[in-house]
Each structure stands twice: as structure tokens, then as C-alpha cells.
A and B are shown apart, each in its own frame.
Chain A
Amino acid sequence: MSRYFTISILLLFVGYFGVSQEEERTVANDSIPLSVNDTLPKNEKYGLRLGVDLHRPVTGLVDSDFFSVEIVGDYRISRKFFIAAEAGTVDRTKQDDQFNYTTNGSYLRAGFDYNAYENWLGMQNMIYAGMRVGYSAHSQTLNSYRIFNPDQTFNEGDTVITEGPLIREYDGLSGIWVEAVFGIKAELFNNLFMGFSFRVKNLVSNTEAEEFKNLYIPGFNKVNDFSNFGGGFNYTISYLIPIYKKR
């Protein structure tokens, strides 16, 4: 396996050699000029690539309190640039140390990817970096909680409250964030791609309930107490629907 990784990294450096040809023009002595057309075939496929994230459904198999589906797509606009988007929905219940809550909602992330990888002729793999802007619309329900009291004279710390003014659904919540994306997509079979990406996210705006802060935002993932940064990962299988070809 390491042999192939080495080759992949070498391909990055070698890729710039030997793909393009220059247009040649010869002017003959007679009055009819000869021009030679570029014989390089149109090999770059442009089209719409659609797929699904597999990481979320697999997590859902492992964790029965988590259900999420994400569809991904991108559309090539130049040799190196793609506009890209992901959309998904989340139904997640989490038992934290002091309370139990459910997040329900959907999200959309849109932006672009830049393919830094120089493909050999006929190949269309990607090693890319990109950015997204994300938006979520969701609700958060507090299901149960214990009261935090450093003084446990009355042993109330284990009592779980399941009814009361705090136990309800808080809806109309949303979040807006930006992401930096780094990922790989490899073409495995004809137009079928598999890939994964890592994301660094920063929460820009947060519409939350006064009584119950946003702890988890669909598409952004866990919101920390101490910072606006978050992270994410997806792992996709997608299919390129070719529309046209260019050089």
C-alpha cells in the first residue's frame, strides 16, 4: 500500500510534465498558409457530480440515537474550480453528563472547491481545498436534566427532572458558519468517485433560545462552550453525470 502512496505523491510533482502541446503554424512559401490544428483531444469532463455522504448513515448504524443523511454535489466550472454544495438533515439525541437533548433540523452548505492535483491525461482525481458557507434551520428539545449543585448535602444530584418549564422544544433556531474544506476524490470506476474531506468550521451567527443555548447545529456539529470553532468530516460516494467536454 505504501508503494502506491509514494506514487500518488510523486504524481503531484510529475503531473506538470508532458500533457500539453503547442499549437504550431507553418507558413509555406506558397500563398496558401498551412496551419496545424491542436491534436490534443478534448478530455476534460465537465458535468454535475452527485452523491451521498456515507459517514453519517454509518454513524447512525452504530448509534441508534443519531439519524442523518447528507447529499453532496459539485459542478465543474473550469479546469480547476468546482462549485460545490452539501445538504442534509439530522435527528440526533444525546445524553450528556447533566442532561439529555434532541436536535432536529436540516442544513445547506455551498461554496467552491479548487483541485490542486494535476491529473494525467484522462484521469480526474482530486486533491482539493475549498470553502463553504453553511446555514441550518433546526429545533432543540431538552428531554431531561439534573441540577448541578456543588453542595450535595441533600443528595439531590441524582434526581432527573423530566417535566417542567425548561422541558420543551425550542424551535426557530438557526446557525450560519464558514468552513475551510480539505479533501480527496478518486475516480474508481467510470465516473464513479469516492472521497473524503475534513472541515474546519467557524460559527458566525447563532439564533438560539434564551433558555437553552445551541449545543449542536446540524451541518456544523457540536458547538463548544469556549470557542466558535468546530470540525467535521465527510466520506462520499458520487457519480459524475458528464455534460460536455473541454480541454
Chain B
Amino acid sequence: MTTRRQDTMKKNVLLFLLIAGIASPMLLSSCQRDDICSEDPTTPNLVVGFFDFVNQDEFNRVTNLRVTEVNDDLESTLITESTVSVDSILLPLRTFTSSTRYVMVRNAGFDADGNEQGDIDTLTFNYTVEERFISRGCGVTANFTLNGIDVTTDDDNWIVTTEIVNPVIEDETEIHVKIFHN
């Protein structure tokens, strides 16, 4: 036998539990913490160092370096241009193809007509892409394995030769490619 007060109590508890049951999934789902990608490294850039051809252990800074990427449709994307001389640069690699082509200009400038001047060389990096799942916050990142470098030869190359020092590109802590010039 239950009293009238107990019945009212039961109804109130029932109502409360019903509301809690419907409201709680909505409340709890909006409380989700957004995971931030705090992993380091993620998808790395290619690290290129410029060295002296004669003394191959020594850096040889490039003056007025201008680098553009040229895709298969011959569209250019400016990567970097520097008025100070640099001894190394970071180059992004395309993740959905197996090669990326760069035009590297030493002593870059523009003549009166706006044409590019300087020592112009074209480099193509060939590689394989490996995608890996890292974490909930970061998702998937790409690493690269360099297979080779093609330097387009012309009458006047300022790049003498190249060397793949670290073919596995998974971080930016060490130089992957050395470019030798005079």
C-alpha cells in the first residue's frame, strides 16, 4: 500500500528520469572535447641544403634565391624569394602525385620588361608517398621516400650536382638533399 505522497513522489521521479534520459545524450554529446593535433612532426617539408661543389662539407649560400613550383599544367606557385642569402630552404612536396618540380633561380631579378633574370635551373624530385594515421587529433599525415632528383640540363646550370642524404622524409630535423654549386 502506498500513500498518495509516495505516488506523487514516484511520478516526480519518473518525470525527472524521463527528462534526464532525453536531455543527457544531447548535453553529453555537446560536451565533446575537440582534439587538437599536437603531434610533431606531421607532414614534413623537404629540407634542401646548399653546399660548395669544391668543398663539399661547407655551406655555400645562395644570393637572391627565388623558387617557384611548376605543376603539370605549367602553372607556377611561388615558394620563396629571399633578398638575404640562404644556405637551406624548406620545400613542400605534393602529396597526390609522385613528383614535384621546382624552378630555382640564383641571383634572381627582373629586367625592365618584367622577365625573370638570373641563373635559372629546373629540378624535379621523384618520390613515393606513404600515408599514415597518427592520432584522433591529427588524422592522417604523409611521409615521403625520395627515389631520385632530375636536374634539367641546359647550356648553363648553376647547380652542379645533387645528393640525396636522407631519402626518408618524415621530419624536418636534418637535411634530406644537398645541392652543390660554385
Binding site for B on A (CB under 8 A): 1, 4, 7, 54-55, 58-59, 62-63, 96-99, 142, 145-151, 153-154, 156, 159, 161, 164-166, 186, 188-189, 194-196, 211-213, 215, 222-225, 233, 235
Contact = CB atoms under 8 A, between A and B. Distances in A.
6 contacts: A62-B29, A98-B140, A149-B92, A156-B96, A161-B140, A164-B131
Given A99-B133, A142-B133, A145-B133, 17 more contacts: A4-B13, A55-B21, A59-B25, A99-B139, A99-B140, A147-B141, A148-B139, A154-B69, A161-B131, A165-B131, A166-B140, A211-B133, A213-B133, A215-B136, A224-B136, A225-B135, A235-B20
A188 B10 contact: yes
Main secondary structure of the interface of B (DSSP, over half): mixed
Contacts of A215: 136
Residue in A153, A188, A212 whose Cβ sees the most chain B Cβ within 10 Å: A153
A159 B120 CA distance: 32
Determine which residue in B92, B140, B141 has the highest number of CB atoms from chain A within 10 A of its CB, and name it: B140
Contact of B140 (A147, A189, A222): A147
Contact of B138 (A148, A151, A154, A166): A148
Contact of B16 (A1, A96, A99): A1
Contact of A97 (B131, B133, B139, B141): B139
Nearest to B32: A222
A4 B13 CA distance: 9
Interface string B4-28: 0000011011101100111011101
Contact of B131 (A166, A186, A235): A166
A97 B35 CA distance: 9
B131 A225 contact: no
B133 A149 contact: no
